[in-house]
Amino acid sequence: MLWQTTRHAIDLSRPRVMGIVNLTPDSFSDGGRHDSVSSALRHCERLVDEGADILDLGAESTRPGAPALPADEELARLLPVLREVLAWGVVPVSVDTYKPAVMQAALGLGADIVNDVWALRQPGAAELVAAHGRCGVCLMHMHRDPQTMQAAPMEGDALPTVLSFLKQRIEHLRWLSVDLNRISVDPGIGFGKSVDQNFALLARQRELLALGVPVLAGWSRKSSLGAVTGQQVQDRLVPSVAAAVLAVERGASAVRVHDVAATVQALKVWQAMNLADN
């Protein structure tokens, strides 16, 4: 399976690692660590050296309770780093945003993927991606919004809701003539779901494959991993790697992670087992 993006067709015959680059002062696990252009670029370089297949640049935190950021501030954080990383040309670059104005500017510079926790529900976002004609897109499920999602999480079995939401979003993009091979989906771990619901989504993640597009999973350092291990956010490397491997084992084509080197190593072990099994 290939994931078509602006400049790269990503071969998903092996699991891909998307390295997280948070250009934010307030992200839940690494806020403020890469908020100068030079430190962000050093971080990008490091993630590529460690084996990241995709870099995901985000300039607004979506942690529970995070305030919304004006588009011009998000762009001021994002564009200087995005411009440089795109110029390297080594890996596909994804932009983690839900704002059409930010998508437009990022795609104008040549960004490869729009990764949207709102699944292109902001007015004009889906049309913009459709009109671009080539960029990849990741549609994530989120219950409510970052301000309210954990105050009133979903109830009951999350999977049917997540499935039907993602199906509708794919159908909407198809209706706008977006090729299926540009689209991936994400169950949105931690976005308005309880710990049990997140783990049920992992256990039954294969059911998302019925949507006919690659699945991306983002478990890295999330609080559900803290809930079952008792580890604080800075000590969730092992749980994050375990979750990434389990997500791949349950059919994910890509994992979105902070700790690229460890995840790449773990997935090599998974791949070796898989090759030996065939």
Task: Determine contact, residues 81/40, Cβ cutoff 8 Å.
Answer: yes
Q: Which of 4, 5, 6, 22 binds ligand HH2 (CB under 6 A)?
A: 22
3-state per-residue secondary structure call for 218-255: CCCCCHHHHHHHCCCHHHCHHHHHHHHHHHHHCCCCEE
The burial of 103, by beta-carbon neighbours within 10 Å (0-12 exposed, 13-18 middle, 19 or more buried), is given as: buried
Question: Is 221 among the residues known to form the active site?
Answer: no
Rounded Cα gap, residues 63 and 40, in angstroms: 20
Least distance from ligand HH2 to the Cβ atom of residue 116, Å: 8
Residue in 16, 99, 236, 256 annotated catalytic: 256
Query: Does the active-site annotation cover 83?
Result: no
Among 251, 257, 161, 259, residue whose Cα is nearest residue 215: 251
Chain position whose Cβ is nearest to ligand HH2: 218
Identified catalytic residue from 193, 222, 236, 250: 222
Contact flag: residue 14 with ligand HH2 (CB under 6 A): no
Query: Which part of the chain contacts ligand HH2 (CB under 6 A), choosing from 44-52, 78-86, 162-170, 183-191?
Result: 183-191
CB closer to ligand HH2, 37 vs 277: 37
Q: Are residues 183 and 139 in contact, defined by beta-carbon separation less than 8 angstroms?
A: yes
Strand pairing partners for 117? Answer: none
Element (H, E) at 120: none
Q: Which of 23, 79, 91, 96 binds ligand HH2 (CB under 6 A)?
A: 96
Residue 16 sits at the vertex; the CA angle it makes with 15 and 18, to the nearest 5 degrees, is 145
Is residue 94 near ligand HH2 by the rule CB under 6 A? no
Q: In this complex, which beta carbon is closest to ligand HH2, that of residue 195 or of residue 274?
A: 195
Instruction: Choose the binding region for ligand HH2 from 2-10, 56-64, 168-176, 192-200 (rule: CB under 6 A).
Output: 56-64
Give CB contacts under 8 A, 24+ apart, made by 66-69.
Answer: 66/26, 66/146, 66/147, 67/147, 68/146, 68/147
Shortest Å distance, C-beta 15 to ligand HH2: 15
User: Nearest Cα to 19, choosing from 1, 46, 42?
Assistant: 46
E strands, 30-140, are 54-58, 93-96, 113-116, 136-140
x-or-dash pattern for ligand HH2, window 197-236, by CB under 6 A? Answer: -------------------x-x------------------
How far is Cα 41 from Cα 27, in angstroms, rounded to an integer?
17
Closer residue to ligand HH2, CB minimum distance, 20 or 213: 20
Residue 58 in contact with ligand HH2, rule: CB under 6 A:
yes
Among 62, 198, 253, 263, binds ligand HH2 (CB under 6 A): 62
Name which of residues 117 to 156 contact ligand HH2 (CB under 6 A): 117, 138, 140
Question: Where do contacts with ligand HH2 occur on this chain (CB under 6 A)?
Answer: 20, 22, 24, 27-29, 58, 61-63, 96, 115, 117, 138, 140, 186, 188-189, 216, 218, 256
